[in-house]
């Protein structure tokens, strides 16, 4: 489990759970449509981040008989459910509430002052106080997530946090950053709507900004859904493929590479598959001495009275050539795999098939 993602998700769950409760209380006291939509927004954020946490926990489980490459992609599935819930419930309920509030505009009386512990509380100031508390809590959650996000961005060699949203390989952390960003923007919109309604005496401002909050929630949900669907659709890891191409080009005993493919399991696991051809002029001269030694070892295992027969010598030559060539091919594959993982540790599984040994150009001296 990514420690940075887990810390951001847990912080967000705690902050949003507290904010949800106080927003609902303020919405019931004031009757504000924007505050009610903000309450639904925070409730959805809390539930969605709980989904993100479940996805992180599930993805940590190791490979087993049913899931050969582990459970990493379950994280994207839970994230997708989170995005669907955020859209269908958060945005849908928010728009529905704004619609009903618009139809009832002018038919309901302003919320009366509330007496609490002997003090008379103005609903407007209750809303403002709750928004300030919510901004502080969600602001802290946002800073925790943003710090982890920027660390991940710099680790991957990027400097633009906005463009990195489109290419980040950790949609869980991206989801927390976006949800916290939208939460803070939603607070500003809610405060604006409540303030304008109080100043003008027209509740349409409150309703309009509440609808804007719901639309904004739906847009973020759509983006998060699209992001996670990319990882569930057998997306290629172009960085891993480029790393293998680089390693192959730098290896003097590899002639060329064919049919290179990759699949991203999760941000910590990538599968690479390819076929390679080896260079005869680089491999064969270096194997001759090892083939001779191996042939002598094979002949030593044959009874002395048959050791010098033409048939046994031919057998020893053939077996030694095959054995040494295969051993060297396996060694080259191991070298390529180690070099790729040194560049990109997330490449967890590499399957390289030796298609053959490219013959030396007859015009070139041996």
Dihedral of CA atoms 169, 175, 177, 180 in degrees, nearest 10, equals 180
Residues 53 and 7 in one domain: yes
Orientation angle between helical segments 171-200 and 74-85, nearest 10 degrees: 10
Residues 135 and 245 in one domain: no
- Decide if pLDDT at 363 tops 50: no
Host domain of residue 10? 3-232
Q: What is the DSSP letter of 344?
A: -
Give the helix/strand (H/E) hosting 255.
Answer: strand 254-266
CATH of the domain at 259: 3.30.70.1350
Q: How many folded domains does the chain comprise?
A: 2
Asked, for residue 111, whether it belongs to a domain, the answer is yes
Burial class (CB in 10 A: 0-12, 13-18, 19+), 16: buried
- Using one digit for the tens of pLDDT, what is the confidence trace for 151-167? 988 988 888 888 888 88
Residues 227 and 260 in one domain: no
Residues 140 and 66 in one domain: yes
What is the rounded distance in angstroms from the CA atom of residue 46 to the CA atom of residue 363? 71
Closest CA to 36 of 199, 218, 186: 186
Residues 219 and 251 in one domain: no
Asked, for residue 57, whether it belongs to a domain, the answer is yes
Asked, for residue 257, whether it belongs to a domain, the answer is yes
Residue 362: the pLDDT is: 44
pTM of the model: 0.62
Domain end marker among 195, 217, 232: 232
Asked, for residue 26, whether it belongs to a domain, the answer is yes
Q: Could you tell me if 189 and 180 are in contact, meaning their C-beta atoms sit under 8 angstroms apart?
A: no
Q: Choose between 118 and 45: higher pLDDT.
A: 45
The token pair that represents 358 in the structure block: 């490219």
Asked, for residue 366, whether it belongs to a domain, the answer is no
The alpha carbon of residue 90 and the mean position of all alpha carbons in its chain are separated, in whole angstroms, by: 23
Residues 141 and 187 in one domain: yes
- Using one digit for the tens of pLDDT, what is the confidence trace for 79-117? 888 777 776 777 777 788 778 778 776 555 555 555 555
What is the overall mean pLDDT for the chain?
80
What is the rounded distance in angstroms from the CA atom of residue 16 to the CA atom of residue 127? 17
Asked, for residue 183, whether it belongs to a domain, the answer is yes
Residues 221 and 242 in one domain: no
What is the rounded distance in angstroms from the CA atom of residue 354 to the CA atom of residue 322? 14
Domain end marker among 189, 212, 232: 232
What mean pLDDT do residues 276-298 have?
Answer: 78
Asked, for residue 365, whether it belongs to a domain, the answer is no
- Is residue 365 very low, low, confident or very high in pLDDT (cuts 50, 70, 90)? very low
Q: 38-47, 277-286, 312-321: lowest mean pLDDT where? A: 277-286
CATH of the domain at 42: 1.20.1510.10
Residues 262 and 118 in one domain: no
Residues 75 and 187 in one domain: yes
Residues 13 and 67 in one domain: yes
Residues 197 and 52 in one domain: yes
Residues 323 and 194 in one domain: no
- Using one digit for the tens of pLDDT, what is the confidence trace for 104-114? 765 555 555 55
Domain end marker among 185, 202, 232: 232
């Amino acid at each position: 489990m990514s420690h940075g993602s887990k810390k951001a998700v847990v912080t967000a769950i705690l902050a949003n759970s507290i904010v949800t409760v106080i927003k609902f209380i303020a919405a019931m006291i004031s009757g504000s449509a924007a505050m009610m939509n903000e309450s639904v927004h925070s409730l959805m954020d809390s539930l969605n981040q709980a989904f993100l946490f479940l996805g992180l926990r599930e993805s940590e489980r190791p490979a087993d008989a049913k899931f050969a490459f582990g459970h990493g992609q379950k994280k994207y599935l839970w994230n997708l459910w989170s995005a669907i819930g955020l859209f269908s419930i958060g945005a849908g309920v928010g728009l529905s509430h704004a619609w009903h509030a618009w139809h009832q505009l002018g038919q309901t009386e302003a919320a009366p002052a509330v007496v609490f512990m002997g003090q008379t509380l103005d609903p407007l100031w209750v809303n403002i106080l709750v928004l300030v508390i919510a901004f502080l809590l969600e602001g802290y959650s946002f800073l925790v997530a943003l710090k982890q996000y920027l660390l991940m961005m710099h680790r991957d060699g990027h400097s633009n946090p906005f463009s990195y949203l489109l290419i980040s390989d950790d949609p869980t952390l991206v989801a927390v950053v976006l949800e916290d960003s939208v939460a803070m923007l939603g607070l500003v919109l809610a405060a604006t709507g409540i303030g304008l309604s109080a100043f003008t005496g027209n509740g349409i401002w409150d309703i309009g900004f509440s609808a804007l909050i719901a639309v904004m929630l739906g847009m973020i949900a759509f983006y998060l859904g699209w992001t996670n669907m990319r990882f569930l659709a057998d997306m290629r890891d172009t960085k891993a493929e480029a790393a293998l191409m680089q390693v192959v080009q730098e290896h003097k005993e590899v002639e060329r590479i064919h049919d290179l493919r990759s699949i991203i399991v999760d941000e910590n696991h990538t599968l690479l598959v390819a076929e390679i051809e080896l260079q005869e002029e680089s491999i064969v001269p270096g194997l001759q001495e090892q083939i001779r030694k191996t042939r002598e070892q094979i002949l030593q295992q044959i009874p002395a009275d048959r050791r010098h027969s033409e048939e046994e010598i031919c057998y020893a030559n053939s077996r030694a050539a095959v054995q040494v060539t295969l051993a060297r091919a396996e060694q080259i594959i191991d070298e390529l795999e180690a070099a790729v993982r040194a560049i990109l540790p997330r490449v967890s599984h590499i399957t390289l098939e030796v298609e053959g040994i490219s013959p030396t150009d007859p015009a070139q001296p041996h």
